[in-house]
Structure 1
């Protein structure tokens, strides 16, 4: 009897949940919320298409525990005021075909969307393009309980798990980074202190959801910024996570610090963080997921066969072809056709892919790449409309 290829073998997580294969749709900010923090019909359809496309788990980017620090006005907000039935509908659509649908627990902190927030981070910053106040100690200590409450609601709504977002320059990533975190109390200084909030979040979430509900974390290998989180410190975080009840460590990198290039916008060929994953494997027995730069079936197979990682995270590849897992299992389409955008404006490629997801949710995507400038205009116009809705619905941002 032949065994399935490594990419299509099931994986049992430490909590006992079994993923049907090793392909995950990594969290992307799809910006498809309706402006009041609730999912839309286009979002239901998008995650249904991914589930039917054959992946094991799909992760919804940046679901907020409150409306106070969103990354974008299209974020979802799952708190005690949310209409849980709309989230239940999303969980139902995204959980078809044996797929898992997880929520990524987010808090943008210093990078919160300015028009609808008063950004706050570990420390006060006044830099070109980035101004934020310092979070007070009582607000920091509230974050784990906020995340735990949203995770509990996610479980009630029928989602399969949650992912703690500690990457890409958002709040928990900011605490890890010496570039953002200049604190001198128990949350700043050494990496032991800088990771404290993350460990508190994991403990609080586990207490809220019980032992058999998956909790993942997305972690930067490095911030890819001078003065930011470096790999040696990130490895210490991985080692500390090994002693927690975490079920999956998703390795990524880069940050949305103003002016910085994200790893996915770089010109290099991926996977981007496989060498770090090999180092991380020596620090933990937890399942590892690799996100960033995996564009071909061969790259995915090689990363798994190396033993460095257990799950392959795909993002833009699945924005181009939502049935890619099924195609790979049928030994078809080893590599999607990625569009080329020479000399793209900062944030332009992200805008293009975000609008691509919008069209996928409406079953209206085409092979026509179109204009990057038009995608940016559409993206910004929609943000402006939803920011107005957000402000009317939630009121003035918290101070």
Structure 2
């Protein structure tokens, strides 16, 4: 998840370090920190981590160490928000120029596109050197590599636009560069949408083509998710559905690849998780369930736990549910938990005020 717990300068806070330590103590196999930036000019939020020459190496090593106690792995999700970079701290650029309600961006030049694989590779190598357990290339949820895959975002007429073969070209180049940078044994995963759930966007048939093309790429795990943070789009994770979202897609993907498959989204019960494994999925991604109970893996394994009780929200504002869970991550990192849902509007206000407070800090650090 994107925990938004960085200090505004791209470095971990005490709360962030403690959060991943708590999850590791709770018995999960791997945590994945959402949207870690290699380039601070295309960040998702001012709470993102940034790997680069200005990074606080000691703080990052402390994060890597704390998140790997109890045999756990801590992986960094390598991100680039592209067209959906946060404007107060970024320069939004995507595959193509867009000017639509809620989203304006310029187009990346051919030179900027060609530089991206080495940028991801450098970030991955730094993650390895800092002691993290692996990396995940983020090609989902409407961020840059996902934008290249989508015909809604990608209207290029060069070798990176048009057919799905061209639209996936950058992703395959990034994967190849990352694998070359970290060597054959360091875990490299990819997060891929089954669909971005937008009419005319990235759909199942294209997603299956990407999965088939990843054979032999050196990828160790394909994490299947879906949806987008495109302005106004409903998040898949805010759905009122009663079970996992993308299992049917995973069953279609299974014959196309020998790479292990993980499915993330909608897992709320132990039954959901075990049934997914029985249907051929190799790993299950839990997000909000682990926000509600960070000890859930240990308790499920011991047979002592029921299922987490998910809060019910009435008429939440856009982004409100995500804000609520994000602020709960902060509470967990500070070793405090609220027992009630509380005021969703107040949580959203606190979430927004924290981002606002970090804008000047980020810009002073990276945009002077």
For the criterion TM > 0.5, the same-fold answer is yes
For residues 50-65 of structure 1, the aligned pairs below 5 Å read: 50-65=23-38
Q: Which residue of 1 aligns with 2:304?
A: 332
Query: Aligned partners of 1:179 and 1:243: how far apart in 2?
Result: 28
8 Å contact from structure 1 (residues 45, 93) kept in 2: yes
- Picking from 225, 233, 255, the partner of 2:198 is 225
Q: Within 2, Cα distance between the matches of 1:193 and 1:277?
A: 24
Structure 1 residue 169: deviation in Å? 0.1
C-alpha distance in 2, partners of 1:352/1:170?
A: 22
Does 2:179 correspond to 1:212? Answer: no
1:80 Cα deviation from its structure 2 partner? 2.2
Unaligned runs of 5+ residues in structure 1 are: 1-27
Q: CA RMSD in A?
A: 0.7
Matched, 1:148 2:148: no
How far does residue 394 in structure 1 lie from its aligned partner after superposition? 1.2
Question: How far has the Cα of 1:368 moved from its partner?
Answer: 1.8
- Unpaired runs of at least 5, structure 2: none
**How far apart are the structure 2 equivalents of 1:280 and 1:299?**
19
Partner of 2:334: 362
Structure 1: which 4+ aligned runs deviate by more than 3 Å? none
1:334 Cα deviation after fit = 3.0
* In the alignment, structure 1 residue 395 sits paired with structure 2 residue 333: no
Q: Does the Cα contact within 8 Å between 1:298 and 1:334 map onto a contact in 2?
A: no
SS at match of 2:210: helix
- What's 1:323 paired with? 295
Q: How many residues align?
A: 368
CA offset digits 1:45-81 (Å, max 9, x no partner): 0000000000111100000001110000000000122
Paired residue for 1:254, among 227, 245, 251? 227
Residue 126 (1) aligns with residue 105 (2): no
Aligned pairs for 1:267-286 within 5 A: 267-286=240-259
**Residue in 1 that maps onto 2:215:** 242
Alignment partners' CA distance in 2, 1:207 and 1:334: 44
After superposition, what is the alpha-carbon deviation per residue over 1:343-370, rounded to whole angstroms, capped at 9, x for unaligned? 1111000000000000000011121211
State how 1:290-309 maps to structure 2 within 5 Å: 290-307=263-280, 309=281
What is the TM-score when the length of structure 1 is the normalising length?
0.91
Does residue 264 (structure 1) correspond to residue 237 (structure 2)? The answer is yes
- Return the offset for 1:170: 0.1
Alignment partners' CA distance in 1, 2:130 and 2:197:
37
